[in-house]
Chains A and B, each alone.
Chain A
Amino acid sequence: MRRSFQQKLSAWYRGKYDFTLKTADPLQARWKHEYTGKEHKIREMERRELAFSGVLYNILCVLFCLIFIGVLLIAVAFLPAHGSPDNPAVNEVMERYVEEGMDETGAVNTVAGMILDYRAFDTLGESFVLFTAVCAVTILMKNTKKRAPDGTPVPMAVKPGIVEYSKDNIVKTVSRFLIPFIFVFGVYVLLNGHLSPGGGFSGGAILGGALILYAMVYGEDRAAAVFSERLIKTVVLSSLSFYALAKSYSFFTGANHLPSIISTGTPGRILSAGLILPLNVAVGFVVCCTMYSFYMYFRRGRIQ
């Protein structure tokens, strides 16, 4: 039954109707009439309290949102003009990054030079944000509940999805042709991080995407045969510890003004820019393994 706008508004006002969601939850109907006698009274009192706080919560939220966005709009309108060269942000910090960036870090792409050399501590923290995400997703999604008596994890029954790509010939032939090119492009983006736009994060994500496509099309078991959990763990361990040790070396030598043995090489060549290339490769591996393990944990609860 199409409820009039006024009914919907009053329903929303009482905190009952979510104007954005029409799908009725199957459980809501069944749950209502399960309470008996005394417990019903408590439920009724709690519901009235919830209803009242629901109304209050809604009004407060709407008010808070409108004021907050309004204040932001007014404040942001008075920020320095967009695109004008004499903004306060165009100061000596930016000039040094661009002008001396190439000879100090050897990176033609100043953004990569800034991320992996000038402000490297942020990016070190950044890859550990990804590492925390892997740990948290593994805690949540690793499905080791069902264990066979001898302890080996019973594989979660991989239920056939709505569309099974490994049986769809069109997708299979096209991706058989496409996957190698995605890999090559990912490696290119990864290795040319300091010369052209790209670098660790985007290259790793493209490689991760290629792995996901491979797993999706050729079936998770074949992909799991190649990328076992032990392989992913050792890759994450080695690249993250290499990253932390290499960066702590350059922090230590920098802070104590010791000459560091890493030379920046001639800009423009692939093997230039000192530590940036190996660091990009390490970050690329971490991001690739992260994306692949996200996919496998979401798809079937385990990597193996």
Chain B
Amino acid sequence: MLREIFVTLLLAGLVFCAVATAVSRRLMRTVIIFMAYSLIMSVVWLLLEAPDLGITEAAVGAGVTGILFYLALRRIHQFDRDAANQEERVRSDNENGSAKEE
């Protein structure tokens, strides 16, 4: 009986995380919720008597997919920061340029 309650709780957690990733605004939050989602999923595999899947989902799903999402986000934020520095450099050149012209 305890197992039934635990499975229902985990499934409710799964649905909550799925809806949370769909609705959450910031991308970093979506990625972290997705990592939690696949962690809960690997425990659900264990409860469904499929230990092979539990290990694989934990190592491949939560582990590597999570890292790939995080790296993709970091590369995207890095482009933003480069674009921001680029614009600052251009603006500062214009200012020195215009300062020199006056």
A-side residues, CB < 8 A to B, are 20-23, 109, 111-112, 159, 161-162, 189, 197-199, 201-202, 205-206, 208-209, 212, 287, 291, 294-295, 298-299
B93: Cβ under 8 A from any A Cβ: no
Chain B residue, CB-CB nearest to A196: B51
Among A111, A189, A205, A212, the most chain B Cβ lie within 10 Å of the Cβ of: A205
A selection of 8 A-B contacts at a CB cut-off of 8 Å is: A159-B78, A159-B81, A161-B78, A197-B52, A198-B55, A202-B59, A209-B59, A299-B71
User: How many residue-residue contacts, CB under 8 A, span A and B?
Assistant: 63
Question: Is there contact, CB below 8 Å, between B63 and A205?
Answer: yes
Would A162 and B74 count as touching, CB distance under 8 A?
yes
Please indicate the chain A residues that have their CB under 8 angstroms from the CB of B78 in the complex. Answer: 159, 161
A212 engages B52 (CB within 8 Å): no
Partner of A205, one of B23, B27, B56, B68: B56
Binary flags per residue of B60-80, CB closer than 8 Å to A gives 1, else 0:
100110011001101101100
Interface residues of B (CB under 8 A from A): 22-27, 50-52, 54-56, 58-60, 63-64, 67-68, 71-72, 74-75, 77-78, 81-82
Chain B: minimal CB distance from A107 (Å):
12
* Distance of B102 from chain A, by nearest CB (Å): 28
**Which residues in A have their C-beta under 8 angstroms from that of B67?**
209, 212, 295
Residue on A nearest B72 in the bound complex, by CB: A298
B55 adjacent to A189 (CB under 8 Å): yes
Contact A161-B74, Cβ < 8 Å, known A20-B22, A23-B25, A205-B63: yes
Residues of B within 8 A of A159 (CB): 78, 81-82
CA distance in complex: A144, B51 (Å): 42
Cα of A209 to Cα of B61 in the assembled complex, Å: 12
With A201-B60, A209-B59, A209-B64 in contact, do A111 and B82 touch (Cβ < 8 Å)? no
B59 touches A197 (CB 8 A): no
- The chain A residue with its CB closest to the CB of B69 is A298
Report A-chain residues with C-beta under 8 Å of the C-beta of B56: 201-202, 205
Q: Could you say which of B25, B55, B72, B77 contacts A21, with CB atoms under 8 Å apart?
A: B25
